[in-house]
Structure 1
Amino acid sequence: MTEPVVHIDNLTIQYPNNLVLNSLDWSIQQGENYIIGGTSGSGKTTIAKAIAGLIFTDNTVKVTFDDSKSLPAKVTYISNWYQFTNLEGDRNFYYQQRYNHHQGHDTLTVKAELEHFAKKENLDFSDIQQRVQDFGFEDVQSSQLIELSSGEHKKLQLVRGLWEKPQLLIIDEPYTGLDKNSRVVLNNWLDELVQEGVQLILITNDTLLPQSINRYAHLVDGKIEIVDSQADFAKDKKRQQKELPAFLRAIPETNFDTVAELNNIFIRYGDKVVLKDVSWKINVGEKWLLQGPNGSGKSTLLSLINGDHPQAYGHNLSLFGNKRGSGESIWDIKQKIGIISPEIHWYFDQNATVWHTIASGFYDSIGWFIDVKFQEKTQIEELLEFFDLMDVKNKNLHTLPLGKQRLALLARTIIKNPPLLVLDEPCQGLDNDQTKYFNDVVDELAHYGKTLIYVGHYVSQLPSCIEHKIVLEKGEVKAIENILETVA
């Protein structure tokens, strides 16, 4: 009998006041390709990192490679986030930096990053060119890493990891930020790799999976349980319906009829056109869906509206009834907007507690803020109670399960009851129940006069309040519709 690929014997991992894995035993045999799912915070990422050798396990985890295979005898772990660095090797970036093109040259280009990786791993760059094209990733080869959207960063992670063809490939949330076509491309590629001898462990609650997946497991009370299908995965508790805090049931005061009006907007970086002749009008109280493939210009378009893009000046752009550049400050604009995005999550202060995270929404900061007033403290406490975050209010945001992190950031987004909510792929990495919880809250907020811009790829994962849709493709408006059509 051949040895298992992975054998775990009595693995225990404990963080301060938190037992994550408890005397866990697990064996993965040749040919078994697993999905690990289950509740938020159950230890899925921890066990993946333990198998990949990224967490000390005191020899309780053994990985056995097949010497008869031509594939590299290694485990490759692809994390949920892409940890890129600047040219000096550190990660000291700030949120708006990706829009300041003159500062973008602090990082490698996509092509240079891939060439560097090829040299390091002794890979042939020509082997990956068709994959890059299939992913719709060829147009960003000259872009700096810091200029990429979250979906494009995920593609770069995946291209690097799958290019290696390791004997064991572990991907944490493989579909985060990917558009519909890219998910299909990824699943087909994974199936091809399995045919070549790669073994898979995917951490996801997504249901659109590679055909090669043949095993399912979840974590319960720190131990692994093998189940028959994803339907058997443990789920987070259903949301208990609560009344919105009174301050959020107050319709925001507005002395304008139009939240944003963009006319024939062109944005370019050198020879690269990011937005081309884009026009869009958003009236007070409208609920919009913004869609488009990865790299279509969605993030850049939103950056014009939320005040972060330096090229907003000099364009025919009005926000909240005032032409951009007519004397209002960026803080005047931000006071009227609540925003959540993968980029804000990525750049958020790693030392911020949940309480400080929510409080920072009053001042539109992603870290330090001045002392809050009594009424503001009251609103923070009301949102902590509303989102069931009271018991973790003094914990660092980044130590929480992803679902609770997203809820804390939603609380930050709405803390000042702004007239405009911009929710840019807010449910990345959440399972269907968590997504429904999140979107149910958005629907409740929508009843009280909020204007909404929501970015999402799948109609099944959207709030029901959406009324209009705008679709971008390669920087151009391809459709503006008043009735939401099923995108699937």
Structure 2
Amino acid sequence: METIARFQNVAVTLQGRPILKNIQFEMKRGQQWALIGLNGSGKTTLLNILAAYQFPSNGTVEVLGETFGKTYIPDLRKKIGFVSNALERFSDYYRNDSIERVILSGKHSSFGIYEEITKEDEAEAIQLLKQFRIAQYAGKKFHELSEGEKRRVLIARSLMSHPDILILDEPCSGLDILAREQFLQSLEVVIARGCHIIYVTHHIEEVMPHMTHAVLLKEGEIIAQGEKKEVLTAKRLSETFNTPVSVTWHAERPYVTVNGPVQLP
């Protein structure tokens, strides 16, 4: 099975402090991964490496058949999409743009449209509006949408460049339960387009049925990885979250319950 991403003996040290330690990770074609860990566990650093925005201090990184240090990074980045609620800090760049223009800007990964857009691009943007069930908002300005609708627009935007990997960094942060569920269900569109997902969260119930694998990160180290039902166990999640939890599965989704009071810092 073809390898999509591989980390071998990857470590990151910043100002003498270890951020990632001996990361061994491999994602293969057809797999959809959830990355789970507490704040400060090293998730953001691992994502930045995967997205080719940061290099490790040690180790080897291969993404989409390209090895860091032996490939032209800007071309590789075009094959990797990135969606985060943090992207909305750039929303002033397109707050008065129609949502169609926001989506079209993803063709060249720019904030605003500065290069040629074809009729085919426009047709694809309309198709994405339909696939993400936001076609009824066509013509509306980005800032007029709800937070959940904005996130779906941002995913549609990321798909305009036809990425092979889509990184979703806590994309449901700040969404209410309805907007969260609508967003999570929309990810089926991403997978149907042949894109591979790495979904980052510390909310276990966001691991949807279409997610196949999970990796648990704690204090810069991977403590478990593999098929999700083998990884998302009470024992391993209790270790990851530093608190005793139990896990139940319903409709192929895991749910966590904290067992008693937690220790205060």
Q: 1:406 aligns with which of 145, 148, 151?
A: 151
Q: Which runs of 5+ in 1 are unaligned?
A: 1-255
Q: Residue 432 of structure 1 contacts residue 461 of structure 1 at CA under 8 Å; is this kept in 2?
A: no
Q: Could you tell me which amino acid in structure 2 is paired with residue 316 of structure 1?
A: T
Structure number, greater radius of gyration: 1
Q: Separation in 1 of the partners of 2:161 and 2:49?
A: 21
Q: Residue 290 of structure 1 contacts residue 469 of structure 1 at CA under 8 Å; is this kept in 2?
A: yes
Q: Could you tell me which amino acid in structure 1 is paired with residue 128 of structure 2?
A: L
TM-score (norm 1): 0.44
Q: Residue 344 of structure 1 contacts residue 366 of structure 1 at CA under 8 Å; is this kept in 2?
A: no
- Classify 1:349/1:262 alpha carbon distance in 2 versus 1 (closer, same or farther; 3 Å): farther
Q: Residue 442 of structure 1 contacts residue 463 of structure 1 at CA under 8 Å; is this kept in 2?
A: no
Q: 1:283 aligns with which of 28, 38, 41?
A: 28
1:358 paired with 2:103, answer yes
Matches within 5 A, 1:8-407: 257-309=2-54, 311-312=55-56, 315-330=59-74, 332-352=75-95, 353=97, 354-390=99-135, 392-407=137-152
Q: Could you tell me which amino acid in structure 1 is paired with residue 87 of structure 2?
A: I
- Secondary structure of the equivalent of 1:339? strand
1:477 to partner: Cα distance: 1.0
- Secondary structure of the equivalent of 1:268? strand
1:257 to partner: Cα distance: 1.8
Q: 1:430 aligns with which of 156, 175, 179?
A: 175
Q: Separation in 2 of the partners of 1:392 and 1:350?
A: 19
1:417 to partner: Cα distance: 3.2
Q: Could you tell me which amino acid in structure 2 is paired with residue 339 of structure 1?
A: F
1:260 to partner: Cα distance: 1.0
TM-score (norm 2): 0.78
Per-residue CA deviations over 1:350-381 (Å, capped at 9, x if unaligned) read 43422232112211224454231221111112
Compare relative contact order (CA 8 Å, sep 6+) and give the higher one, 1 or 2.
2
Q: Could you tell me which amino acid in structure 1 is paired with residue 5 of structure 2?
A: A
Per-residue CA deviations over 1:426-466 (Å, capped at 9, x if unaligned) read 11222222222222221243245332111122232232111
- Secondary structure of the equivalent of 2:228? coil
Q: Which runs of 5+ in 2 are unaligned?
A: 233-253, 257-265
Normalized per residue, which structure has more strand?
2
1:304 to partner: Cα distance: 0.6
**Identity, % of aligned positions:** 27
- Say what the alpha-carbon RMSD is for the aligned residues: 2.3
Q: Could you tell me which amino acid in structure 2 is paired with residue 328 of structure 1?
A: Y
Q: Separation in 1 of the partners of 2:131 and 2:194?
A: 20
1:324 to partner: Cα distance: 0.9
- Secondary structure of the equivalent of 2:24? strand
1:395 to partner: Cα distance: 4.0
Q: Select between 461-470 and 280-289 the one with higher mean Cα deviation.
A: 461-470
- Secondary structure of the equivalent of 1:299? helix
1:470 paired with 2:215, answer yes
Q: Could you tell me which amino acid in structure 1 is paired with residue 148 of structure 2?
A: G
Q: Separation in 1 of the partners of 2:45 and 2:171?
A: 17
